[in-house]
Amino acid sequence: MQINSTVNQAINKQIGMELGAYLQYLTISTYFDVEGLSELAAFFKAQAEDERDHAERFINHVVAFNGRLEIPAIEAPVSTVSSVVEAAKLSLDWEMKVTEEINALMKLSASEGDHITENFMTWFLDEQLEELSTMNRLLKVAERAGDNELAVEDFMVRQRGKQQPNPQGAGE
């Protein structure tokens, strides 16, 4: 069985968006690294890795479906970030754009009768809700912290502590 060509093209476009997000988050991570804000640098580095993983999930789907991989040109990331608020706004805007594209890809898969891809996309819908929530929360905290970027660093440390694995869910 081969993937629907229209869906395949849309997935290739999405792969480009995921790789673009990877580069953007990597650039933001580097900015915070240079500024000595290691928690924010680590957070955005992890976000970058997540986006790369998303691209790989799409690539694996295309391969499994005997599709054709054609990664589009990727726009250069914004390289002039000067604050946590600016980074959070940029990230939230990016995630909203990606969410629109994921929704469109879900609709396209359904309209083309590609229920395998439609089912595959449900994981990304859940992931986008998490991404939007995370970036929205970071923006709110950064806005409240104002010029005190160390307060955001402290918030990131507390958030990391909350992300420990749930031992009750381990056996599920």
Mean pLDDT of 120-147: 94
What CA–CA distance (Å, rounded) separates 78 from 101? 20
User: Domains of the chain: which residue ranges?
Assistant: 5-151
- What pLDDT, in 10s, does the model give residues 3-49? 999 999 999 999 999 999 999 999 999 999 999 999 999 999 999 99
pTM: 0.88
CA angle 155, 158, 164 (to 5 degrees): 140
Q: Are the CB atoms for 89 and 136 separated by under 8 Å?
A: no
Q: Residues 5-151: name the CATH superfamily.
A: Ferritin, core subunit, four-helix bundle (1.20.1260.10)
- What pLDDT, in 10s, does the model give residues 38-50? 999 999 999 999 9
